[in-house]
Amino acid sequence: TLSGKTAIVTGSNSGIGLGIAQELARAGADVVLNSFTDRDEDHALAADMTQEHGVSVRYIKADLSSADACRALIAEAGACDILVNNAGIQHVAPVDQFPVEKWDAIIAINLSSAFHTTAAALPMMRAAGWGRIVNIASAHGLTASPYKSAYVAAKHGVVGLTKTVALETAEEAITCNAICPGYVLTPLVEAQIPDQMKAHGMDRDRVIREVMLARQPSKQFATVEQIGGTTVFLCSDAAAQITGTTISVDGGWTAL
């Protein structure tokens, strides 16, 4: 059980981050939710999770494209035993046409934010004598696809940062690992299915198998619950000697 631990999950008002936050709360951790918005529903989400799991759940707004905001998020949380760097965005374009501002935003949010939050959180973990850092990379942290230069570069960078932080904390009760999901069925991905069905003139099952999961041998999406469960495992005592590595949750994508 993770009771008494505080977990900060970046980018956690939807999708994978929310799934991870739910599983950490179910395992007994107090949770800090985050995104760049400050809406009533963001705070309502925290209240609902507090109710459901009987742990403390807070929502803290921070736009992680800013270095200062990343560090302020950790400071405002006040404690950080478990840090999950999950916030991420995507843009798809050929490298010679890739908008510079999109490149800069993806590197800032998908890669640099993890550097800033880690730098701010490590002193707290050292003071507590225990810590877990889980970086949500991607199959694209290990392999590439065309037209995703910024995303692939950032996710490979996250894997490199993960290994380096693991070496710097190797003799302490702190681990740092990356989870590399394949295609995960989040609301964002679900919303693309009708358009893909129209574009390819295929039914839902065929578009999922032949278009969306073309590179995922299992022909099934990973779920946010599975990414959350993998995160909880990495926070467990069984995973105490797992550090500086990647765990693929990709239905066999990177075995191809």
Q: Which residues bind ligand NAD (CB under 6 A)?
A: 11-17, 35-36, 63-65, 86-89, 109-110, 136, 138, 181, 183-184, 186, 188-189
Nearer to ligand NAD, 132 or 173 (CB): 132
Buried b (16+ CB within 10 A) or exposed e, 84-110: bbbbbbebeeeeeebeeebbeebbbbb
Q: Which of 75, 88, 217, 103 is nearest to 140 (CA)?
A: 88
Minimum distance between the CB of residue 75 and ligand NAD, rounded to whole angstroms?
A: 16
Nearer to ligand NAD, 18 or 29 (CB): 18
Minimum distance between the CB of residue 1 and ligand NAD, rounded to whole angstroms?
A: 26
Pick the catalytic residue: 59, 147, 151, 183?
Answer: 151
Neighbours of 201 (CB within 10 A): 8
Q: Specify the 3-state DSSP secondary structure of 230.
A: helix
Nearer to ligand NAD, 65 or 118 (CB): 65
* 151 belongs to the catalytic site: yes
Q: Which of 105, 121, 108 is nearest to 32 (CA)?
A: 121
Q: Which of 106, 229, 122 is nearest to 158 (CA)?
A: 106
Record the tokens describing residue 102, joined without a space. Answer: 């999109």
Nearer to ligand NAD, 189 or 197 (CB): 189
Q: Which of 164, 166, 142 is nearest to 153 (CA)?
A: 142
Q: Which of 244, 201, 221, 186 is nearest to 19 (CA)?
A: 186
Minimum distance between the CB of residue 158 and ligand NAD, rounded to whole angstroms?
A: 9
Rounded Cα gap, residues 224 and 228, in angstroms: 6
Minimum distance between the CB of residue 19 and ligand NAD, rounded to whole angstroms?
A: 8
Minimum distance between the CB of residue 225 and ligand NAD, rounded to whole angstroms?
A: 13
Nearer to ligand NAD, 192 or 236 (CB): 192
Q: Which residue has the tokens 């939710």?
A: 33
> Which sequence positions are flagged as catalytic?
151
